[in-house]
Amino acid sequence: MLTKPYHMAIATVLCALPVQADHLEELVVTASQNTLTIDVADELLISSDLAQLLKKAPGANVNTNGPLTGIPQYRGMFGSRIAVSLDGTHLAPSGPNWMDPPMSYAVGGQLESLKIYRGIVPVSVAQESIGGAIDVKSIQGEFGAGEDFELGGRLIGNAQSVNDAYHLESAVYAGNKHNRVRVAAMTENGDDAEFPDGKIRPTEYERQRYDLGYGFRTGNHTVQLDYGYNDTGDSGTPALPMDIETIKGDLYSLHYNFDRNEVVNIMVSLFSSNLDHTMTNYLLREAPTASQWRRNSASSDNMGFKLMTTVFDNTGSSTFGFDGFSAKHNSDIDNPNSPMFFVENFNNAKREVLGVFFERTENFTSHWSGEFGLRFNRVEMDADKVNATPAMMMPAAATLRDTFNNSKLRQVDNNLDLAAKAWFRATDNTSWYLGVAQKNRSPSYQERYLWLPLQATAGLADGYTYTGTIALNPEVSSQIESGLNYSNGSLTLSPRIFYSKVKDYIQGTVSEDTAAIAFVRMMNAQNGTNNPDPLQFNNVDAQLYGFDMDWAWYLSEQWSLSGLVNYVRGERDDSSDDNLYRIAAPNATVSLTYTAPAWTATIETVGYAKQDDVSVVNNEQESSSYGLINLNATWYATKNLQLAAGVDNVLDKRYEDHLGGYNRAINPDIALGARLPSYGANIFARVMYTF
């Protein structure tokens, strides 16, 4: 590792580098009659994990299980509770442990915007958004002005020291008045990351991505067809029991848009993906004995559609539509050293959602405006019968198999979402906001259909084995939030307070299934392990509440301050006096930026409080407080060439992110079961050429 004086010397040089003011790191808060959103654009993104950008938005954070596996968290909710759309499409991860969360299929260098809907999500945006919604939009290229094609593109290369990683990316765009074409490719690679006391093993990764797009426009009509191919190779996930061997898949989408400005807009989307995933516990980490080798081959097949029409009138707009999304999952575990061993983890586990919605935005007066929405979703789930070698040899496993196979596997939920939001413009500088909603989420296929005690838990990474409960009820959240937007030209701030009471919140509770308990104990005796008794996904009651705010203060034409403040608590709201699992600690960020006509530089301080409000049932460890200093700068060498560099964690501080999980791989530098340390000092640089 580099010495701290060396880091400070580099930081001093960086602060002197010039940067282009038009390409700053930018967090734009946009308030409209319909919603308040956060757009993260033109960020200096170096991390291979696009989800890290969420830390730039109030209320948002990331559960990290490996270098490519960032799972969004928003106001204490995470995973499938947050709807993620990629250029208007949805997908369900191929891995039962979310090694490929939806945001991992977005490419940072092709990012046009990352939109985080703040608080209550409009019903038109997503089918299930009990915990929020994120919209990732890629650069599609532009239509030209005439018949001749206009050519453009960008080349990006970056590198970082903490894991000797590189990222190379190219995109070419061509367009005329009726046609546009996009061709893009990306490759990236990284080794095991360093922290002040050693290396985090395994955190190596490799990934390639290829994209093609074609758009056609005539009059008010636009058609866009896109194809993407993802190829992830050996990549570590030290917080999980296995690592990525491969994630490969095809992503397809077709969009049609009819737009008569301020009169009517019609949008139709069709999309699908076919994703295959293999993971192992013996290739990247120290392998167990031959009898304990495990390989999981998983897949997901996704299809969806959305039809939405918006009609504008003198006082607002009305939006109505319907949408559907279906996903089928398979997951089979084997042992390459024992051909007779198999576990049908999930067998054709299906989840289909059909929805219909209506939404109205209304400008009542020059001071009052509102948004009201209604959505109905029908969620149908089913799975095929399962089997496994242990069920042929162990009575406890046989009981679990037979109980599952003889159960009513087909389940149907009918969910009603309601949302109402109002804004009052008190002065030219101040507007007040109030929102209330009822939001629903039906169980995931893991929560319903995990029949044998395993850790296939959509990335919970708590070290427990789980079983599902087929007859789970949907989660129902009653939400209220309030706040204001203030801007006087030099100071802007947007605080929010929020409260959510969740009936039938789904989480692991101590299992009372004697067969599941007996199976785990027999496996401990057979393998010499000491895994705790299993948990079972069940319905409880919960509440989440807190405060978040973003702010900016423009001190002069050159100097500005900006920052975030976040606080959230998640608690059981029943007879159990316990906290919810894996909730972000209170935190704040302050950035000081200097902007000149041709350059800019930023120093950022990040502080996290200790997190001692932890889950007892998950045996969650407390985490300590910490503070970090980060620096970055950017320079436009020419009109088309941008150079950027920076240092994260300048003081090379050792710290543990509360959302970073626990070590599951044998490592001489980190004890098994200990909190995973975060990365040490990281020097990075980026070159971007546009034409």
Please state, for a pLDDT cut of 90, what percent of the chain lies above it.
89
Q: Which two tokens stand for residue 282?
A: 């013996």
> How much is the pLDDT for 6?
38
When pLDDT is averaged across residues 59-76 and rounded to a whole number, the result is: 97
Q: What is the dihedral of CA 275, 279, 284, 290, to 10 degrees?
A: -150
CA proximity to 644, closest of 633, 652, 630: 633
> How much is the pLDDT for 111?
86
Q: What is the pLDDT of residues 510-554, one digit of tens each?
A: 999 999 999 999 999 998 889 999 999 999 999 999 999 999 999
Q: What is the pLDDT of residues 122-172, one digit of tens each?
A: 999 999 999 999 999 999 999 999 999 999 999 999 999 999 999 999 999
* H helix or E strand, kind and range, residue 190: strand 179-190
Q: How confident is the model at residue 347 (pLDDT cuts 50, 70, 90)?
A: very high
**3-class state of residue 618 by DSSP:** coil
CA proximity to 116, closest of 131, 99, 105: 131
> How much is the pLDDT for 524?
95
> How much is the pLDDT for 26?
33
Domains of the chain: 4-690 (2.40.170.20)
Question: Which of 107-111, 474-478, 625-629 is predicted least confidently?
Answer: 107-111
> How much is the pLDDT for 643?
95
> How much is the pLDDT for 43?
66
pTM of the model: 0.94
> How much is the pLDDT for 44?
74
Longest dimension (CA), the chain: 75
Q: What is the pLDDT of residues 26-50, one digit of tens each?
A: 334 443 433 445 555 456 778 899 8
CA proximity to 511, closest of 530, 532, 536, 531: 536
* CA atoms in the 13 A half-sphere facing the CB of 382: 5
Contact 169, 109 (CB under 8 A): yes
Contact 204, 162 (CB under 8 A): no
When pLDDT is averaged across residues 98-117 and rounded to a whole number, the result is: 91
CA distance linking residue 682 with residue 691, whole number of Å: 30
**Single-letter amino acid code for the residue at 280:** T
CA distance linking residue 600 with residue 23, whole number of Å: 9
> How confident is the prediction for the chain on average, in pLDDT?
93
CA distances from 546 to 44, 62, 74, 368, 606 (A): 29, 17, 11, 26, 19
> How much is the pLDDT for 114?
87
Q: What is the pLDDT of residues 407-458, one digit of tens each?
A: 999 999 999 999 999 999 999 999 999 999 999 999 999 999 999 999 999 9
**3-class state of residue 465 by DSSP:** coil
